[in-house]
Amino acid sequence: MSRIFAIGKYLFLESIRDKLFIALMLVSVIIVAGNFAMDFFEQGIQDRIIFDFGSSLASMLGAFLCIYLIVSQIRAQLDSKQAYFILASESSRAHFILGKWLGSLLFTAFNMLIIFGEIFLIIYFNSRIISYISLIYFYIVMLKLSILCSMTALFSVTSSLVVAPSLSVFFYFIGHWGSYIAFALGKSGGGYYAIKTAEFISAYVLPNFKYFTAEHVISENFSGAAAYLAALTAYSLCVNALLLSITALIFRKKDL
Amino acid sequence: MNKITKSNFLKISFLALAAVFYFASCRYLSHKFDSGDEIIRKKASANPIISLSLSMSKELRQVAASYLWLRVDEYFHSAAVRMSENREIIPLIKLVTIFDHSFIEAYLVLAHHLAYHLDKKDMAIEVLNEGIENNLNPPASRLSELYFEAGWINATLLKDTKEAILSLAAGKKYLSDDCDIDNASLALRLLNYLKNSQKDIFDMDTYRKTISDKDIYAKLESLGREAEEQHDGEDGHATDIEGPADEHRYAGQNPWQNPFLSARLTKAAYVYAFMLACFLLSRAIASYVLPRR
């Protein structure tokens, strides 16, 4: 366990010193800060607009960070043979994968925390409201990005430097639009079995990113929202466990 | 059982458990989300925009709705056309409700505009019913506002007292803390009046007489007192600002003459200066504790 944390910690420190990420964060912080100068609407609507634009920016930035970090830390290091420094030590290949996953997730969480903290502060200064939904949505986005990290780790182990991020982006979109594919099949005259198969694949086989919204937390009562969050956490933990196990298994058998 | 077999057994059990929990959570979540999407899907064949919105994730849909709402606000308050001639705004607000069916404000504004400015009462009721249908499962926190608006339109424009009582009573049932208190109290007062009224058809003039001027003055006075208390509670230059609603006065004017904007920007400057200081301090501490090799 300590080896996993050590790999994760050094990835985090290495990334936090990277000028590219600092510049990226500064740009995001400035864009979200633009909300401070926003013209006045009805209070609830203004908060909603700040939250919607800010959180979607955070989500997109987080997805970019996850894919970029994992691919550059796993695939690029394997190609450049930098990974051999870790693999030649006492750390196993599974430790390498888990450490890189943990480090990327920690760094992404750190960045997301800054943006969501900023959204929280803007809403507080604009309306004197403590936006609990910003904190909850931060958690939901991190669950979503953890799955994206695991998925990218799997593709980084199995594919090349160009194919791995492309596949991750592709499945990230499919994860959002999966149910639409089944719906479009139905509208374009697809057969019953084709539609049912598409529905099954989008719901049970591929990671479904459609579930990661704040909609049910806002609209439902406390017990409904808690049940939803618990199910979402269980879903994310299970997907991560399965994907990382498959990744570690493939990586262990792989000839380097 | 030797050590290797035991470790394999544990790994396989862990994976099997993860798979079981995965399918269970998938089933719960897919059921929860599909029931919500089903309502939109039924209407998708008639409207290509709904099909387009279905291809987007919920987040993206909400962003699109928020952006369109900014445009709605701009066109609604533009002085180019009179309210009674402003028909172009309808598709724009309709788009907001398509992209985000939980945008209660959009249903309310659209229905009010249709009923009171464009004299399209039936369309207004249809819009409200659609909003109610889309937000009933699970009931949205501001659902009762849609019922109250339907109640007002039924009572004052369609003169359908029975329907008005049904709508207002349903609104009372779903009343929550997120609803506008003043509007809710007015709607409940109307419900009370309609229930006790002997006439089948609602008469606005008779209803007006039941609301004494005293009630209205008492309400205004209490609102004034609250505003004064808020005014006294604030300190520094913030006391120059009356209240958030007054910022509407500065819409479309030179932004540098807007005291609300300058106050917000000053606060923002303090916040970002504080954040920058925290960042620099944490960097200094990190470089001291964790020196670069």
Cα Rg for chain B, rounded, in angstroms?
A: 27
CB contact under 8 A, B264 and A245: no
For chain A, the farthest-separated pair of C-alpha atoms sits apart, in whole angstroms, at 61
Residue-averaged pLDDT of chain A:
84
Dig out the tokens for A169 from the structure: 């982006």
Q: Do residues B289 and B282 lie in contact, with contact meaning Cβ atoms separated by under 8 Å?
A: no
The residue range of the domain holding A140 is: 2-253
Task: State the helix-helix crossing angle for A132-158 and A222-253, rounded to 10 degrees.
Answer: 20
Q: Which of B222, B231, B140 is nearest to A221 (CA)?
A: B140
| Span B33-91, pLDDT tens digits | 766 566 555 555 556 666 666 656 677 788 888 888 888 887 777 666 677 777 888 88
Q: Distances from the Cα of A45 to the Cαs of A52, A127, A218, in angstroms?
A: 10, 11, 14
Residue B236: predicted pLDDT = 43
Could you tell me if B209 and B248 lie in one domain?
Answer: yes
Judgement on whether residues B233 and B288 belong to the same structural domain of the protein: no
The nearest CA of chain B is from the CA of A142 a distance in Å of: 15
Structural domain includes residue B133: yes
* Alpha carbon of B141: minimum distance to chain A alpha carbons (Å): 6
**Same-domain pairing of B120 and B152:** yes
pLDDT at residue A221 above 70?
yes
Task: Give dist(CA B227, CA A53) in Å, integer.
Answer: 31
- 3-state secondary structure (DSSP) of residue B197: coil
Number of other residues whose CB lies within 10 A of the CB of residue B257? 9
> At A80, is the secondary structure helix, strand, or coil?
coil
Q: Tell me how many domains chain A contains.
A: 1
Q: Residue B268 in contact with residue A125, Cβ under 8 Å?
A: yes
Q: Are residues B243 and B261 in the same domain?
A: no
If asked whether residues B206 and B270 sit together in one domain, one would say no
Q: Which residues of B touch A213 (CB under 8 A)?
A: 57-59
Determine the residue type at A136: I
pLDDT for residue B238: 42
- Phi, psi dihedral angles at A92 (to 5 degrees): -85, 175
Task: Answer yes or no: do B198 and B276 share one domain.
Answer: no
Separation of alpha carbons B159 and B155, rounded Å: 5
Looking at the fold, whether B91 and B158 belong to one and the same domain comes out as: yes
Name residue, tokens 């420190």: A13
User: Does the distance separating the beta carbons of B138 and A220 come in below 8 Å?
Assistant: yes
Q: Do A245 and B26 touch (CB under 8 A)?
A: no
Residue B137 lies in a domain: yes
Q: Rounded CA gap, A54 and A33, in Å?
A: 9
CATH of the domain at B197: 1.25.40.10
Rounded Cα distance between B133 and A140, Å, is 27
Residue B115 is given by DSSP the state I
C-alpha to C-alpha distance for A1 and A86, rounded to whole angstroms? 15
Query: Tokens 């450490």 — which residue?
Result: A99
Highest mean pLDDT among A154-158, A206-210, B186-190, B236-240: A154-158
State residue B107's pLDDT score. 93
Q: Which two tokens stand for residue A94?
A: 């599974």
The pLDDT, as a whole number, for residue B41 is 59
pLDDT at A90 over 70: yes
Among A36, A37, A176, beta carbon nearest to B57 = A176
ipTM of the complex as predicted = 0.81
Q: CB–CB of B138 and A219 under 8 A?
A: yes
Tokens read off for A238: 């299970």
Taking chain B (293 residues) in runs of 10, the rounded mean pLDDT of each run is: 71 86 86 66 58 66 83 75 79 88 89 89 91 84 89 86 87 84 82 75 68 61 60 46 49 58 73 80 77 57
A155 confidence band (pLDDT: 50, 70, 90): very high
The number of distinct structural domains making up chain B is 2
Q: What is the DSSP letter of B57?
A: -
Give the contacts of B48 (CB within 8 A, at least 6 positions apart): none
B64 and B141 co-located in one domain: yes
Please give the residue range of the domain that contains residue B207. 12-255
Instruction: Tell me, yes or no, whether B7 lies in a domain.
Output: no
- Asked if residue B219 and residue B192 are part of one domain, the reply reads yes
Dihedral in degrees, nearest 10, Cα atoms A256, A172, A229, B62: 160
Beta-carbon contacts of B211 under 8 Å, excluding residues fewer than 6 positions away, are B189
